[in-house]
Structure 1
Amino acid sequence: MVSRRAFLAGSGVVAAGGFGVFPGLTASVQAATSSTSGSPARLLPAFGRPKHLDYGDVSKLSGGDQTLLTTLQGIVNRTEPELYFLYDTGTQSTPDAKWLADMHLPTKLYANPLDLVAKYRSRIRGAIVHDPAVPDSINIATTLAGLENAVVADADQAKAHGLKIVKDLRGVFDGDRVKTYRWQLDNLYSRCTHKLLAGLPPTMVVNVENVVWQEIARETRQIRDSSNRGTYDLDVSAELGGEAVYVRFGDSFTDDGWGASVLQVSVKANGTEIARFLPNTPEEAPYLFDGSHSSIGGEGNRFADGGNYWIYRFAPPAGTTSLVVTVEMWNQYVVSITDIAPTRIEPFPYFRDYVVATKALVSWLPPGGETGELLIEHYAKYPTLAPYMGWFANDVSGEWDGVDLASQGGSPVIAADFYMNGTVHAGFTAPISDKVRPVKRITTPKNKVYVTLTFGEGDNIQYCQRRMRDIWDDPKRGEAPANWTISPLLAETGPGLFSYYQRTATANDLLVCGPSGGGYTYPGSWPADQLTQYLKMSGGFMRRTGMDQVYAYNNRQNNQWVPFPEEIAKGYADYTPVKGIIQSWDGDPLLVRRGGLPIIGIWGAPGKAAEYKTALDARIANWDGASPLFIAGGIGAWSWTPSDVAELAALLKDPYELVLANTFFDLLSRVLP
């Protein structure tokens, strides 16, 4: 879910870096106030342990029906988890099915999951009806559903299932997002839990089946330096004749993160200009059919990497026989066209069970402008350490700005917008060891290049639930040393998940704490006194889960990551068990000792094994071999697998030596001044 572009740093000799509460709940929820030893107080809501699960495959249902069921799940599971859903497919190879099987609970399959509405109708008061004309009303309805013991539905669903309308939001809001969420903050906040706040998109884009795309332009070279930047005329006339032409921009090499980038667009119909705009401007808005899978770059350019894309829609005047789209474009683009609307908008259903069950207030406020100001007001109302669960609008820029605002407001972020069945996973208990993995010590450091490789994204609990499970089950995992970032907060949001990874890890798998401790955050943006609370809480969770390594972010200034200052590093040393910090980095090589801890910047390279090895060779080209060299290598968790790591490991002959992070920092602590 978290989209992070990899950053490449310059070469160096010594180090290499750059990479880019609740009635019915079984326990009351308290703010975490962990000391420097022992277990932390409960940070997140507690749920009962499931004894039996009714489940069904909802993968083919509409977003509206999934929303109806996930909000029903929230009400039912609040007291004791009884409902579980499969969101991908009903096969036994998907994460949802695997986790269900791993729990070894009695289950009953419902061929039509919507039959569960009738079965559990007595548990709910009725429906909160959202306004299809105002997408954000879905979030208001979700907040109200938790408070009123109701489900979220549209009017047709409520009628079809015989649900009493508890509150009808049609016509209540006018589409002004700030005004809508201001009303919610003013009128519902006092009734909601103050232990967490949530951020979820009200709607999602769903692909329409049987759409045929015609490719009209492709960059066949792996270009990442904008050297092919130019003005391109894209003739899209072949798809004229329908109600509109849809133009999709994507990445021609999905492995390395340098896809299509566009700065200017103009459109001519029969030689007459009918549109001209820059990305991320009001002029672009009428033509941007789907921009949810793209991001805005530093020049104001729109880009999409990996499997991401964006789509423009152009509806020329009747009788148009020639339609040409002219773009300033660069890097690894692929452009395709169709005359069929390729996507539709549906309610976003995921994670709403957890939000409803905990009576959380849920909003969707992009972190800039007026919406950003209102988001700041939200953080100010919540106590220190109340997590922000969900995600932010605007992808990369939303991530950086959103996490920064949350950090300033004393809220760690838990990326959870695609975390499914959270009410079940939070209640299912499983043993988690607090024993730290022993270090495989290298007695005498040699004049080698010591490399440790780390899979990122572990702060993201939905990644831990879905993508991580997929690649963890790669049969080649364990053939080569690899570090796996993971959230220690799974001890409360998914004990069974954490337990599974811990007990199935090989000697070559090391679980390390994801950015930047107990929740994704930028420590440099926290008020100093609140940061101490965050570090104490993080230390408690890390001890509880047996982790003493951390991959961490700091804040950004002038579009670059800032190194940890002495006082923050000392805070980690004082309040957490970390033996060293791998820091997200995009500048010159970073290797320092601060607060008594070795800190090294993470370095990354595009492509897969062979290209990564070539980049490593270039990285060490100026190394004189007279002393050990340390490189913390980042691995793209969305594009790499353990098979790729094994392939890279086979290429790393002398002078390279691949080690786990605990061995890496044990060596580094002995040779670093």
Structure 2
Amino acid sequence: MVSRRTFLAGSGAVAAGGLGWVQSSSASAATGETARRLLPSCNRPTHLHYGDVSKLSGGDQTLLTTLQGVVNRSRPELYFLFSPGGTDGVDARWLRNTGVPTTQYADPLDLVARYKNRVRGAILHDPAVPDSLNIATTLAGLENAVVADEAQARTHGLKVIKDLRGVFDGDRVKTYRWQLANLFPRCSHQLLAGLPPTMVVQAENLTWHEIARETRQIRDSSNRGSYTLDVSPALGKEAVYVRFQDSFGDDGWGPSVTSVSAAANGTPLASFLVNTPEEVPYLFDGLNSSIGGEANRFSDGGGYFIHKFTPPAGTTSLTVTVEMWNQYLVTATDTAPTRVEPFPYFRDYVVATKSLVSWLPPNGPTGELLKAHFDAVPPTTPYAGWFSNDVAGEWSGVDLAAQGGVEVLPADFYMNGTVHSGVVAPISDKVRSFTPLKPANKIYVTLTFGEGDNVQYCQRRMRDLWDDPRRGEAPVNWTVSPLLADIGPALLSHYQRTATKYDLLICGPSGAGYSYPGAWPADEVDEYLKLSGLYMRRTGMNLVYAYNHRENNAWVPFSETIGRSYAEHTPVRGIIQSWEGGDLLVRRGGLPVIGNFSPPGKAAEYKAGLDNHTKDWTGTAPMFIAGGVNAWSWTPSDVADLAKLLTPPYELVLGNAFFDLLNRVL
């Protein structure tokens, strides 16, 4: 493979964390190239000690995942169940699939005592400075230590290797600039990681009072207005928490709010515009929301945002007035609905690989420092984890990474990565065969579950979808990451082996790692697509669901140059361009590129959207529609329901037959 990326074989294995890490070469049968692993993989586990950590605090989970990283670096021995459901949970199902002998611990914290002799001690993070948790994680990998607070170190008898309390202040840029200068030279340079230092945990047994609900599916702001809401039913304790969420969580058109004011017993209590300094004291939880082009805070699907108001003692009437529109559901409670805890996930893999981990929003001064991280590594180095600020952070972060020649591996909720990377399983490089169809004057539809670039989705949500008993009733394409060949070969093997004739695995956006090819430097984009071609051939994929890049808040179609690079360096037979209205159908580099069409709602409404989209079809030539399926709200059962509605002239087909037809008639 031609790449300026440095693969640290030999002595680099030590730099990556010890001789337990596999970075061997393998031959690509399709190209004859020598292929190296993009992501380090651990040795094969022979026995796993495991426990259910789903009820533990984020702090205890962080202690265990960093212990897991040190221990599993040489050979995986520790595995944890994070998902609820016990033996039926996703983590338990994958553990059974490994076929590795196991020993269960009723109290997983007992594993600290069992393995304490394998670590040098603890790095204490500073609870007053959340970002110190990431600095502690980087140091834990370098010092063969765990991350803990003072109480945990004392409880478990851990020697304090480094105490970060009082070392850093709240200046995030200064903190991570220090880390880049002082710790990065000691780290492995095979991987950059981005993980939030904290997470919001839901409180249990809350009583939410419904205050207002939009019962119509409104997506055009036609109900925009000023609404005065009586939240007095939630009075009773020190504060009132007002939550805004989507009243129709399956179609992604949740509440939009621009301004908020509150009055206690008729006396003004608060007044602010969203996304201003004046909002900050009242925004209790905005992590699941985004800021729109009209300076509006919005949250779609399963997201929400919460404002907190603290009325004077004795208040008997509390009203909140908001300028709001779309599908809102407003509820209120008198109890803090969430708490903040350390974010524990994926830290085993970061510690084991001795990688640098940060959390830098991709805009402003933090974005400039994040760019400096990308500039410090060779092209096609992966950035594993995620970005802050939900969708806006995703677009800005992936774009910034692409400009820096870096592809993204969404992995912040990927659990037990050290184990899954080491489990050996057969991966087929054979492209799925199919029987070509004779073109007819029909409306050919192919449906695709998105999100497959996201390895945590492949590990968690996709497994639940895959286990739907109605999977296989209707043809559907499943995007997956070809990088699972490195970081989760047994996961990819399971999907390959258990796919029905109606399940087709295709490459998720936009190749070997999530990226926008059009944003890459012109002299480096071929390296990303060569890498993508290598992994697609290794995993038997020849279709891709892809993004390009954004200009002036709009997605730009693929250029001839990008299409030609896909055609030259990958086995792709066609491209579905996501985030496009469904009217794009062109050739680029000789490859058909079709826009993604995603009507809202479930089966009946989706069918109505298709009917409206095709109403001008004359029936004198075939028509082609690449239908997007929302992986977070749809299931194979929903796909099966839609398939029953797609009667002639519709014909539902898999992507291979779809693009074969398209290549012959376009």
Give the alignment's TM-score, normalised by structure 2: 0.96
Select the residue among 390, 413, 424 that pairs with 1:395: 390
1:462 aligns with 456
2:533 alignment partner, SS class: helix
Select the residue among 572, 583, 586 that pairs with 2:580: 586
Counterpart-to-counterpart distance in 2, 1:666 and 1:273: 65
1:99 aligns with 94
Q: Percent identity?
A: 71
Counterpart-to-counterpart distance in 1, 2:211 and 2:320: 12
Counterpart-to-counterpart distance in 1, 2:320 and 2:406: 44
2:552 aligns with 558
1:87 aligns with 82
Higher relative contact order (CA 8 A, sep 6+): 1
Counterpart-to-counterpart distance in 2, 1:300 and 1:588: 28
Select the residue among 188, 194, 200 that pairs with 1:193: 188
2:198 aligns with 203
CA shift at 1:40, angstroms? 2.5
Q: Does 1:131 align with 2:140?
A: no
Counterpart-to-counterpart distance in 1, 2:34 and 2:555: 32
2:628 aligns with 634
1:48 aligns with 43
Q: What amino acid does structure 2 have at the position aligned with 1:482? A: V
2:409 aligns with 414
1:374 aligns with 369
2:265 aligns with 270
Counterpart-to-counterpart distance in 1, 2:580 and 2:503: 26
Counterpart-to-counterpart distance in 2, 1:27 and 1:64: 27
Kindly provide the CA deviation profile for residues 3-53 of structure 1, in whole angstroms up to 9, marking residues without a partner as x. Answer: xxxxxxxxxxxxxxxxxx324243464899999554621111121000000
Select the residue among 288, 301, 306 that pairs with 1:306: 301
Counterpart-to-counterpart distance in 1, 2:270 and 2:26: 54
CA shift at 1:439, angstroms? 2.6
Distance change (3 Å), C-alpha of 1:332 and 1:651 = same
1:108 alignment partner, SS class: strand
Distance change (3 Å), C-alpha of 1:29 and 1:530 = farther
Counterpart-to-counterpart distance in 2, 1:179 and 1:85: 34
1:17 aligns with none
1:357 alignment partner, SS class: helix
Q: What amino acid does structure 1 have at the position aligned with 2:213? A: R
CA shift at 1:320, angstroms? 2.7
- Of the structure 1 ranges 321-330 and 210-219, higher mean CA displacement relative to structure 2 is found in 321-330
Kindly provide the CA deviation profile for residues 274-302 of structure 1, in whole angstroms up to 9, marking residues without a partner as x. Answer: 22212222111111111111122221211
Counterpart-to-counterpart distance in 2, 1:595 and 1:24: 44
1:362 alignment partner, SS class: strand
Contact 2:25 2:34 in 1 (8 A): no
1:3 aligns with none
Q: What amino acid does structure 1 have at the position aligned with 2:236? A: G
2:494 aligns with 500
Contact 2:380 2:406 in 1 (8 A): yes
Instruction: Please list every run of 5 or more consecutive structure 2 residues that lacks an aligned counterpart in the other structure.
Output: 1-14
Kindly provide the CA deviation profile for residues 37-81 of structure 1, in whole angstroms up to 9, marking residues without a partner as x. Answer: 546211111210000000000000000000000000000000000
2:359 aligns with 364
Contact 1:270 1:322 in 2 (8 A): yes
1:10 aligns with none
Counterpart-to-counterpart distance in 2, 1:345 and 1:152: 17
2:36 alignment partner, SS class: coil
Q: Does 1:618 align with 2:612?
A: yes
Q: How does 1:493-532 map to 2 (within 5 A)?
A: 493-532=487-526
Q: What amino acid does structure 2 have at the position aligned with 1:579? A: R
Q: What amino acid does structure 1 have at the position aligned with 2:533? A: G
Aligned-CA RMSD value? 1.4
Kindly provide the CA deviation profile for residues 529-572 of structure 1, in whole angstroms up to 9, marking residues without a partner as x. Answer: 21111111100000000000000000001111100000000000
Contact 2:567 2:590 in 1 (8 A): yes
- Of the structure 1 ranges 39-48 and 452-461, higher mean CA displacement relative to structure 2 is found in 39-48
Counterpart-to-counterpart distance in 1, 2:154 and 2:584: 61
CA shift at 1:273, angstroms? 2.1
Kindly provide the CA deviation profile for residues 583-631 of structure 1, in whole angstroms up to 9, marking residues without a partner as x. Answer: 0133471000110100000000111001111111111100100000000
Counterpart-to-counterpart distance in 2, 1:555 and 1:290: 30
2:3 aligns with none
Distance change (3 Å), C-alpha of 1:134 and 1:31 = farther
Q: What amino acid does structure 2 have at the position aligned with 1:483? A: N
Q: What amino acid does structure 2 have at the position aligned with 1:331? A: N
CA shift at 1:469, angstroms? 0.2
Counterpart-to-counterpart distance in 1, 2:27 and 2:306: 47
CA shift at 1:209, angstroms? 1.1
1:335 aligns with 330
Contact 1:39 1:544 in 2 (8 A): no
Q: Does 1:157 align with 2:152?
A: yes
Instruction: Please list every run of 5 or more consecutive structure 1 residues that lacks an aligned counterpart in the other structure.
Output: 1-20
Contact 2:123 2:163 in 1 (8 A): yes
Counterpart-to-counterpart distance in 2, 1:74 and 1:539: 31
Counterpart-to-counterpart distance in 1, 2:21 and 2:67: 21
Contact 2:17 2:354 in 1 (8 A): no
Q: How does 1:245-264 map to 2 (within 5 A)?
A: 245-264=240-259
Contact 2:447 2:476 in 1 (8 A): yes
1:617 alignment partner, SS class: helix
Counterpart-to-counterpart distance in 2, 1:542 and 1:585: 22
Counterpart-to-counterpart distance in 2, 1:46 and 1:426: 5
1:598 aligns with 592
Q: What amino acid does structure 2 have at the position aligned with 1:496? A: A
2:446 alignment partner, SS class: strand
Select the residue among 415, 423, 429 that pairs with 2:424: 429
Q: What amino acid does structure 2 have at the position aligned with 1:278? A: L
Counterpart-to-counterpart distance in 1, 2:570 and 2:582: 27
Q: What amino acid does structure 2 have at the position aligned with 1:532? A: D
Counterpart-to-counterpart distance in 1, 2:446 and 2:57: 44
Q: What amino acid does structure 1 have at the position aligned with 2:83? A: D
1:529 alignment partner, SS class: coil
Contact 2:421 2:489 in 1 (8 A): yes
Counterpart-to-counterpart distance in 2, 1:42 and 1:222: 47
Select the residue among 554, 565, 572 that pairs with 1:571: 565
2:478 aligns with 484
Kindly provide the CA deviation profile for residues 377-416 of structure 1, in whole angstroms up to 9, marking residues without a partner as x. Answer: 1100011111000000000000000000000011110000
Contact 1:22 1:28 in 2 (8 A): no
Contact 1:581 1:598 in 2 (8 A): yes
Counterpart-to-counterpart distance in 2, 1:382 and 1:322: 58
CA shift at 1:240, angstroms? 2.4
1:145 aligns with 140
2:229 aligns with 234
1:285 aligns with 280
Counterpart-to-counterpart distance in 1, 2:66 and 2:348: 5
- Of the structure 1 ranges 88-97 and 422-431, higher mean CA displacement relative to structure 2 is found in 88-97
Kindly provide the CA deviation profile for residues 351-386 of structure 1, in whole angstroms up to 9, marking residues without a partner as x. Answer: 000000000000000111111111011100011111
